[in-house]
């Protein structure tokens, strides 16, 4: 399946946010944190604001590195989201929406005051509250 982009280059802001997330979660790989961010944005019901995002950092990866074994699934998820939002699924739209979702999601994760450890990241995706995890009643 053809990816929306061959190479992903992040903004300096996203790089700084990823550094924060690396400290919090202890996840060392940019690509894994980027996947979490991308999926976090897809989970949000609103369409990302069409803001310009500079590619002004030194963080760069190929689509295959970003997606890993989930690369094709992530393409399908992006296409489904674009369709759901009433947008096209042409390469340019997918490229733009991917970039917007990726950066928005990284920002959401980095700005989440409840995200203090990797367990909180997992709980976020499962929709489990901190009180359930802390009480051990899940």
Distance CA 68, CA 76 (A): 14
**What are the residue boundaries of the structural domains of the chain, listed by start?**
7-135
Q: What is the pLDDT of residues 63-76, one digit of tens each?
A: 999 999 999 999 99
Q: What is the pLDDT of residues 112-123, one digit of tens each?
A: 999 989 898 888
pTM, whole model, 2 decimals?
0.89
CATH classification number, 7-135, choose in 1.10.1220.160, 3.30.56.10, 3.50.50.60, 1.20.1300.10: 1.10.1220.160
Residues paired with 2 in a beta bridge:
none
Distance CA 59, CA 125 (A): 25
Distance CA 18, CA 36 (A): 11
Give, in order, the Cα–Cα distances in Å from 56 to each of 13, 14, 53, 75. Answer: 9, 10, 9, 24
């Amino acid at each position: 399946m053809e990816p929306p982009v061959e190479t992903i280059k992040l903004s300096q802001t996203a790089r700084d946010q990823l550094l924060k997330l690396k400290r919090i979660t202890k996840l060392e790989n940019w690509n894994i944190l980027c996947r979490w961010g991308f999926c976090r944005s897809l989970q949000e019901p609103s369409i990302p604001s069409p803001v310009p995002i500079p590619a002004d950092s030194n963080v760069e990866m190929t689509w295959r590195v970003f997606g890993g074994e989930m690369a094709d699934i992530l393409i399908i998820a992006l296409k489904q989201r674009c369709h759901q939002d009433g947008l096209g699924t042409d390469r340019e739209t997918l490229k733009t929406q991917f970039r917007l979702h990726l950066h928005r999601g990284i920002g959401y994760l980095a700005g989440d005051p409840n995200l203090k450890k990797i367990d909180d990241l997992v709980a976020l995706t499962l929709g489990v509250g901190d009180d359930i995890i802390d009480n051990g009643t899940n």
